[in-house]
Amino acid sequence: MPLTDSLRDDILASVPSLRAFAISLSGNGDRADDLVQETLLRAIANIDSFQPGSNLPAWLFTILRNLFRSDYRKRRREVEDAEGNYAKTLKTQPAQNAHLEFEEFRNALDKLPQDQREALILVGASGFSYEDAAAICGCAVGTIKSRVNRARSKLSALLYVEGAEDFGPDETVRAVIGGNGG
């Protein structure tokens, strides 16, 4: 369809979540913004192939995901850059404890295989249905479901099982400890 003003607005409205997706995938703020820029250019260059009334965010996410994939094959991620650059993209620096917890989470996420990481982000953070996520990744719905499940188990093992002693007395544990009376 032609590039109408309302379509421009809709594309612009998707930019915040495209950035969040790009940063979650790449772990690198600068690279994420380059990916978003390239996604926008390609989306507008190919706007004639967008079906009016279809899911615009899913279409844009598909472009970004494919760009990331082809770029990934060319050069491995610069893992050492990830934490520093990502932290710089945050508007407000989290408090110390929250920051440590955040870094741990980011590191664990980086350890997931790429297929599982993208499936988990699309479903668990971007809020896409399993069907939309499957369309974005070009695979079956069942495949997305199993990737999301494997991603969750792996994160839980990395964050909470290996370091079980780090699992502080949160509400559930307190409830268990305190719930043996009566």
Q: Write out the residues near other proteins by the rule CB under 8 A.
A: 2-3, 8, 11-12, 15-17, 19-21, 23-24, 33, 36-38, 40-48, 89-91, 101-102, 105-106, 109, 120-121, 124-126, 152, 155-156, 159-160, 170, 172-173, 176
Angle between helix axes 5-26 and 114-124 (nearest 10 degrees) is 130
Using the minimum distance from each CB to other proteins, give the nearer residue, 140 or 173: 173
C-beta closer to other proteins: residue 109 or 144: 109
Nearer to other proteins, 63 or 134 (CB): 63
Which candidate, 112, 108, 125, 21, places its Cα nearest to that of 67?
21
Q: Which of 93, 134, 98, 110 is nearest to 23 (CA)?
A: 110
Q: Nearest approach, Cβ of 44 to other proteins (angstroms)?
A: 4
Q: Which two tokens stand for residue 177?
A: 């400890």
Exposed e or buried b per residue across 126-153, where buried means at least 16 C-beta atoms within 10 angstroms of its C-beta: bebebebbbbbbeeeeebbeebbebbee
Cβ-based nearer residue to other proteins, 72 or 160: 160
Minimum distance, C-beta of residue 124 to other proteins, in the bound complex (Å): 5
Please state the closest distance from residue 143 (CB atom) to other proteins, in A.
20
- Name which of 17 and 143 has its Cβ closer to other proteins: 17
In contact, 167 and 160? CB cutoff 8 Å: yes
For residue 19, the minimal CB distance to other proteins (Å) is 5
- Two tokens, residue 5: 């003003």
From residue 180, alpha-carbon distances to 43, 175, 177 in Å are 59, 9, 6
**Exposure of 61 in the CB half-sphere (CA atoms within 13 A):** 28
Considering the complex, state which of residue 19 and residue 147 has its C-beta at the smaller distance from other proteins.
19
Q: In the bound complex, what is the minimum distance in angstroms from residue 138's beta carbon to other proteins?
A: 22
Q: How far is the CB of 3 from other proteins (least distance, A)?
A: 6
